[in-house]
């Protein structure tokens, strides 16, 4: 923390602190440093906490009904003064308050208040009106360990057969796949005979033996046959959930499908959101595929964010010249570009900045949109202003409209595809992705006329 002294015209270092609050008369400051609180004079030099506040016997008397009433009024007021449209979409906001206030005054739980506030702000008929959090009971959850695999039960012996082991990247803790760790040596088709000494064929469900085992060593008895004889024991460490593994395997399988169907000519990138994770996924897959002849970029189920413009800038780059060095092959300049045609996959779960990305994609004439109409929620939020019990309310504060100034765009409707394809749920569950198949079909057709090769270098000059 630093301060600037306007009289001495000098910046002063106040040291490292975790948080502070200045009093209304600007003479005192509540400061948090190394998990200790203190009230000090407004500092002009290094902050050193000597007289710490003793909070061991601090108590607070809370009137929940008064607090809930204040939160209701605060949420109504915040929406009134921060919603992007001062006309409140034509809704009589004063009348809405009178309609919902009796419900808010009748609630007996913070979750019920959240529901009432959610219904109230829903009257504005717009996305990004999220409400939640607050002073609610925190229940301790016992986590069930996961093994990063799929199982079926043998109908005769009732032991569990491993039908699929999810691939992972075990150097990355978030992508650890327990059955693929060094020394485990378990294969698809093997059977889980026992977990921590308890036979699995006596269990109602094998996961009952994995309750509260996340991050702990668990002994599995495994065999190539559904029987005790000839089995062996291995030690694994279960993970909390398999979502990241399923996503990783889905992306890798899509890359392999596209690669195989196009003889390696076409690249594939899935962008899960338009935040840090999505940007990392884009970078991870974009640069290794720069020399592909075409690209399928997939923003289905994109969770939104704010980096779509950055990705579009990469995808719309145009070649300006060609560079070459001795004993090398030609390369485009700028180098980070894919020359050939592109298509974009979208669906009804492409949301927020995941809506905006395909709109930008079309506006930049980058290629066809394939799939289903996107979610349709693009009126943006900045974060929540504080509520007294730590809850949150998101207020749609800024909207977008067309460059000709004639209409508000995307919100409430989404972005329409150029080619409509709806995945059949049963086929999708079986691994048949009709939207991706259509994208492959379209991009192969476009490669017939739009494939681009770098020109060979001209003859060397004799100077």
Distance separating alpha carbons of residues 215 and 143, to the nearest angstrom: 10
In degrees, rounded to 5, the angle at the alpha carbon of residue 302 between the alpha carbons of residues 296 and 304 is 125
Rounded to 10 degrees, the C-alpha dihedral 410/414/418/420 comes to -170
Q: Report the candidate in 347, 373, 372, 350 with the shortest Cα–Cα distance to residue 303.
A: 350
Bridge partners for 419 per DSSP: 370
Residue 411 is among the residues annotated as catalytic for this protein: yes
Catalytic residue among 176, 177, 308, 352: 352
What does the buried/exposed string (b/e) look like for 152-187 if buried means 16 or more CB atoms within 10 Å of the residue's CB?
ebbeebebbbbeebbebeeeeeebbbbbbbeebebe
Compute the chain's Rg from CA coordinates.
Answer: 29
Compute how many other C-beta atoms are within 10 angstroms of the C-beta atom of residue 31: 23
Contact 338, 294 (CB under 8 A): yes
Catalytic residue among 123, 242, 411, 446: 411
Catalytic residue among 128, 181, 331, 413: 128
Residue 109 is among the residues annotated as catalytic for this protein: no
What does the buried/exposed string (b/e) look like for 320-335 if buried means 16 or more CB atoms within 10 Å of the residue's CB?
eeeeeeeeeeeebeee
SS3 156: coil
Distance separating alpha carbons of residues 102 and 305, to the nearest angstrom: 36
Tokens of 428: 């999708």
> What letter does residue 207 receive in the DSSP assignment?
G
Residue 413 is among the residues annotated as catalytic for this protein: no
3-state helix, strand, coil in the chain (%, to 5): 30, 20, 50
Distance separating alpha carbons of residues 267 and 315, to the nearest angstrom: 13
Compute how many other C-beta atoms are within 10 angstroms of the C-beta atom of residue 272: 20
Q: Strands 131-132, 342-346: parallel, antiparallel or unpaired by DSSP?
A: unpaired
Distance separating alpha carbons of residues 430 and 345, to the nearest angstrom: 20
- Catalytic residue set: 128, 352, 411
């Amino acid at each position: 923390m630093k301060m600037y002294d306007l009289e001495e015209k000098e910046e002063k270092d106040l040291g490292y602190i975790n948080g502070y609050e200045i009093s209304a008369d600007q003479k005192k400051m509540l400061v948090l440093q190394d998990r200790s609180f203190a009230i000090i004079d407004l500092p002009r030099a290094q902050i050193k906490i000597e007289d710490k506040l003793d909070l061991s016997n601090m108590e607070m008397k809370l009137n929940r009904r008064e607090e809930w009433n204040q939160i209701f009024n605060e949420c109504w007021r915040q929406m009134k003064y921060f919603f992007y449209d001062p006309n409140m979409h034509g809704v009589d906001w004063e009348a809405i308050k009178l309609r919902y206030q009796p419900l808010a005054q009748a609630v007996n739980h913070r979750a019920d208040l959240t529901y009432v506030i959610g219904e109230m702000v829903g009257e504005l008929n717009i996305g990004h009106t999220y409400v939640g959090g607050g002073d609610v009971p925190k229940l301790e959850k016992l986590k069930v360990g996961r093994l990063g695999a799929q199982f079926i039960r043998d109908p005769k012996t009732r032991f569990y057969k491993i039908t699929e082991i999810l691939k992972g990247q075990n150097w990355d803790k978030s992508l650890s796949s327990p059955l693929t760790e060094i020394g485990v040596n378990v294969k698809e088709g093997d059977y889980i005979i026992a977990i921590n000494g308890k036979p699995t064929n006596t269990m109602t469900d094998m996961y009952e033996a994995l309750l509260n085992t996340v991050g702990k060593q668990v002994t599995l008895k495994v065999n190539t046959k559904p029987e005790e004889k000839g089995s062996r024991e291995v030690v694994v460490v279960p993970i909390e959930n398999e979502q990241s593994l399923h996503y990783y395997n889905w992306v890798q399988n899509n890359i392999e499908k596209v690669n195989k169907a196009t003889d390696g000519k076409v690249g594939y990138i899935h962008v899960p959101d338009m935040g840090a994770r999505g940007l990392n996924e884009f970078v991870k897959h974009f640069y290794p595929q720069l020399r592909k002849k075409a690209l399928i970029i997939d923003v289905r189920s994109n969770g939104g964010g704010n980096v779509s413009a950055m990705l579009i800038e990469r995808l719309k780059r145009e070649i300006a010249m060609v560079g070459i060095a001795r004993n090398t092959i030609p390369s485009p300049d700028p180098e980070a570009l894919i020359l050939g045609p592109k298509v974009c996959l979208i669906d009804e779960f492409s949301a927020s900045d995941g809506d905006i990305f395909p709109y930008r994609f079309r506006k930049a004439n980058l290629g066809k949109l394939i799939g289903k109409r996107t979610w349709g929620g693009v009126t943006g939020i900045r974060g929540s202003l504080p509520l007294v019990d730590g809850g949150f309310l998101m207020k749609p504060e800024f909207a977008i409209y067309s460059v000709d100034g004639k209409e508000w765009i995307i919100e409430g409707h989404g972005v329409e595809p150029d080619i409509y394809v709806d995945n059949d749920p049963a086929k999708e569950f079986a691994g048949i992705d009709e939207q991706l198949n259509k994208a492959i079909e379209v991009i192969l057709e476009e490669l017939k006329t739009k494939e681009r090769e770098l020109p060979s270098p001209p003859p060397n000059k004799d100077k």
